[in-house]
Structure 1
Amino acid sequence: MISITEWQKIGVGITGFGAFFILLGALLYFDSVLLAFGNRHKLKGTSFFLGGVIVVLLRWPLLGMFLETYGFFSLFRGFFPVAFGFLGNAFNIPFLSELFRRLQGTSSMV
């Protein structure tokens, strides 16, 4: 009989959870209702991003990373104003404003 340590049992459990969620994600990916809500109108960005992944796997990493970056920016172009707007208003949130004030005071170079 093979002796299995506690760390190996934890690793097998985490691997099992990962395999389950990958299988669930693959099954839900091909669901027609979820595809209807998907990013069909962003086909250009998706194709550039996935094409960049394929180019990286074909051993052209610099070109692939440029394609992935272009695809990423074209996919999330509508989200950037929301994110920057939140960052601009983050100083008005009570907890974050206190955190920013404390971090600002500790940035001495000496």
Structure 2
Amino acid sequence: MGNILFVSGLMLTIGLKSTMQFFTKPKNYKGTASFGAGFLMVLVGWPVIGMILEAYGFVILFSGFWPTLAVFLQRLPIIGWIFQQPFITSFFSQQRGKRVPV
């Protein structure tokens, strides 16, 4: 149920055409296949393996958004100071512009 809501929420946010283009980009094939295979594994009755595959696909698909997430976390009002510490900002700086190795 959560996977269906996730994909439908993505479609409502960026549109059907953009969602289809995102999942069918050649650089996203591995993440899309992993996410889809994980979803099917959950439906078949292998939830642990399915969730691991889905998590891997999610990380591969959305690895380009991690720098944006880092900036968002640093600007949070109450806990943002934790993400502004030098060792964490250096980690974010290293990861900026990198994709997860495939």
TM-score category, normalised to shorter length: 0.5 to 0.7
Unaligned runs of at least 5 residues, structure 2: 1-7, 80-102
Relative contact order (alpha carbons < 8 A, sep ≥ 6): 1 or 2 greater? 2
1:38 correspondence with 2:7: no
Opposite residue 38 of structure 1, the aligned amino acid is F
1:66 correspondence with 2:48: no
Q: Aligned in 2, Cα 1:87/1:76: closer, same or farther, shift over 3 Å?
A: same
* TM-score normalised according to structure 2 size: 0.52
Distance in 1, matches of 2:40 and 2:50, equals: 7
Residue deviations 1:36-71, cap 9 Å, x none? x43413011011001000011111111001000000
| Structure having the higher Rg | 1
1:84 correspondence with 2:52: no
Shift of 1:34: 7.3
Opposite residue 84 of structure 1, the aligned amino acid is A
User: Segments of 4+ in structure 1 off by > 2 A?
Assistant: none
Residue deviations 1:79-102, cap 9 Å, x none? 012111221133xxxxxx3xx28x
Distance in 2, matches of 1:42 and 1:34, equals: 12
Distance in 1, matches of 2:19 and 2:52, equals: 29
Aligned residues: 65
Identity between Structure 1 and Structure 2 (%): 35
Distance in 2, matches of 1:83 and 1:49, equals: 21
Distance in 2, matches of 1:82 and 1:34, equals: 19
